[in-house]
Amino acid sequence: MKYFIKTFGCQMNVYDSKRIADILHNIGYTEAHTPKDADLIIFNTCHIREKAAEKVFSDLGRTKLIKDERTEKDLDTVIGLVGCVVQAEDGEIAKRAPYVDFAIGPLTYHRLPEILTKIGRERGTTIIDTDFPAEAKFDFLPENVSQGGCSFLAIQEGCDNFCTYCVVPYTRGAEYSRPIKDIVEEARRLVATGSLEINLLGQNVNSFHGEDENGKDRNLAYLLRQLAEIDGLKRIRYTTSYPSDVDDDLIACHRDLEMLMPYLHLPIQSGSDKVLKAMNREYTSKDYLTLIEKLRKANPKIGMSSDFIVGFPGETDEDFQATLDIVNEVKYIQAYSFKYSKRAGTPAAVYKNQVIEKIKEERLQILQDLLFSYQLKFNKESVGKIMPVLFDMKGRHKGQFLGRTPYMQNVHANLDDTYFNKIVDVKLIDATTNSLSGEIVAGKAK
């Protein structure tokens, strides 16, 4: 039996898809190269913005055609949905896509084997599982191995912050932190099977408070120091952080741990205190700038990244200008920016002072032009420097590899296979906004 998984959305979904693949391998499935060859097609879905959620349903239409074509050849196809769209729209799925055989929320995909058995008995209905279970799915997943030179590792899930625009507290549930021991074991396994870099994931990763072996709650800084002891692990990152949960211990890690990469994604969302308040973000722009000052003191080389939302209800020209001011102050080396998208069930969706689409579009364009100018400037300043690059992706052409610098810049270079999934010193020779090219400096891979 063969499976095909298509992943939408964030890095947590990429991690979840890998774990779903682990479950399927465990029960005898192998990966199909295209959905046409798959007996089981799974979409791991994202609900964060309207566009992401709608894309799931439009792409599903194509899957139905594949199912029909396969039926003509007497081949059975099971179609499943996993992830945040299921959690948010469980009532809609059977109506909008009745050919979907099962739909599971992001917290219960460990039940996939039982559900597949059930489908064998009950064809023709959509089985839905959107429980917020008492048990943690992590305890029921098969052991995973490295996904290459760089692996994701989920340490925390869910969110208790309830930003007024965000669906995550409703789709991923309340905050849960995995026990320290389980995370360290998983990290050791990933390193033993080839990972040089681990990216710790959580919707609010720096509010991590996992139990140690004595039942004591430990923070992210404690966990980072434990992981830094693992032989063979060269790089650690963590994402995504909430500004008011960055504590002094964590800042000290950026001073002390060389393997903690000098790049931090710390979303501010808006530079206007009025908008931040309406978003229910628990910091002001001044708090945020003070935090960055402390981080830069701890590690002067740190490069910052952020998420921004433009056109949040009530955002005026002055509020938007405050966002541009923050960008000019922090000079982000990379950032993600979005137009505010109304999400049913969130408080901001029913705010009366919605911003019209045209203004959202104009603001997004202005913000992105500014963000890209800083990103390009940083990349251009990197030209001529030698940086360690972890090459873990193959490029389009033979011999071309793609990798990342400590600052998450994309680098492509022509190398031979021995450098794949290794860290190599590279001289950067050219830069655009999104990537750099480089050539290997004579020497050994690390």
Q: Interface residues with ligand 5AD (CB under 6 A)?
A: 48-49, 165-166, 267, 269, 307, 309, 338, 340-341, 343
User: Contact with ligand SF4 (CB under 6 A): which of 110, 172, 265, 360?
Assistant: 172
Collect all residues with Cβ–Cβ distance below 8 Å to 365 and sequence separation of at least 6.
none
Span of 4-12, 18-26, 249-257, 316-324 interacting with ligand SF4 by CB under 6 A: 4-12
Query: Given the structure tokens 């998420």, which residue do they identify?
Result: 307
The contact mask relative to ligand SF4 for 191-220 (x = CB under 6 A, - = no) is ------------x-----------------
Q: Does 403 bind ligand SF4 (CB under 6 A)?
A: no
Alpha carbon distance 115, 367 (integer Å) = 45
Query: Least distance from C-beta 341 to ligand 5AD, angstroms?
Result: 4
Parallel/antiparallel/unpaired status of strands 150-154 and 197-201 = parallel
Q: Does 84 bind ligand SF4 (CB under 6 A)?
A: yes
Bridge partners, residue 210, by sequence: 218
Which of ligand SF4, ligand 5AD, none does 83 bind, CB closer than 5 to 8 A by kind? Answer: ligand SF4
CA 273 from centre of chain: 27
Q: How far is the CB of 370 from ligand 5AD (least distance, A)?
A: 16
Least distance to ligand SF4 from the beta carbon of 49, Å?
8
CA torsion through residues 275, 333, 190, 184, sign? negative
DSSP symbols for 252-286: HHHHH-TTB-SEEE---B-S-HHHHHHTT-S--HH
Which long-range contacts does 273-278 make (Cβ < 8 Å, 24+ apart)?
273/322, 274/314, 274/319, 275/312, 275/314, 275/315, 275/319, 275/322, 278/164, 278/312, 278/313, 278/314, 278/348, 278/351
Looking at the DSSP bridge assignments, the partners of residue 390 are 404, 423
**Binding-residue pattern over the window 25 to 64 for ligand SF4, x denoting contact by CB under 6 A:** ---------------------xxx----------------
DSSP 8-class letter at 385: -
Question: Of the listed pieces 164-172, 265-273, 320-328, 407-415, which binds ligand SF4 according to CB under 6 A?
Answer: 164-172
Q: Is 358 exposed, middle or buried (CB count within 10 Å of its CB: 0-12, 13-18, 19+)?
A: exposed
Residue selected from 3, 5, 7, 12 as contacting ligand SF4 according to rule CB under 6 A? 12
Bridging pattern class, strands 2-7 and 210-211: unpaired
Q: Does 115 bind ligand SF4 (CB under 6 A)?
A: no
Residue 238 interaction partner, one of ligand SF4, ligand 5AD, none, beta carbon < 5-8 Å per kind: none
- List binders of ligand SF4 among 64-83 (CB under 6 A): 83
The backbone torsions φ and ψ at residue 190, rounded to the nearest 5 degrees and listed phi first, read -65, -40
- Residue 13 partner contact from ligand SF4, ligand 5AD, none using kind-dependent CB cut-offs of 5 to 8 Å: ligand SF4
Q: Which does 343 bind (CB under 5 to 8 A by kind): ligand SF4, ligand 5AD, none?
A: ligand 5AD
- The number of angstroms, rounded, from the C-alpha of 346 to the middle of its chain's C-alpha atoms is 21
Residue 264 interacting partner from ligand 5AD, ligand SF4, none (CB closer than 5 to 8 Å by kind): none
413 binds, among ligand SF4, ligand 5AD, none (CB under 5 to 8 A by kind): none
309 binds, among ligand 5AD, ligand SF4, none (CB under 5 to 8 A by kind): ligand 5AD
Q: Tokens 């393997």 — which residue? A: 259
CA angle 271, 298, 283 (to 5 degrees): 25
Q: Which does 172 bind (CB under 5 to 8 A by kind): ligand SF4, ligand 5AD, none?
A: ligand SF4
Q: Closer to ligand SF4 at the Cβ: 48 or 224? A: 48
Looking at the Cβ atoms of 336 and 420, the one nearer to ligand SF4 is 336
The answer to whether 270 and 315 are in contact (CB under 8 A) is yes
Binding site for ligand SF4 (CB under 6 A): 9-10, 12-13, 46-48, 83-84, 167-168, 171-172, 203
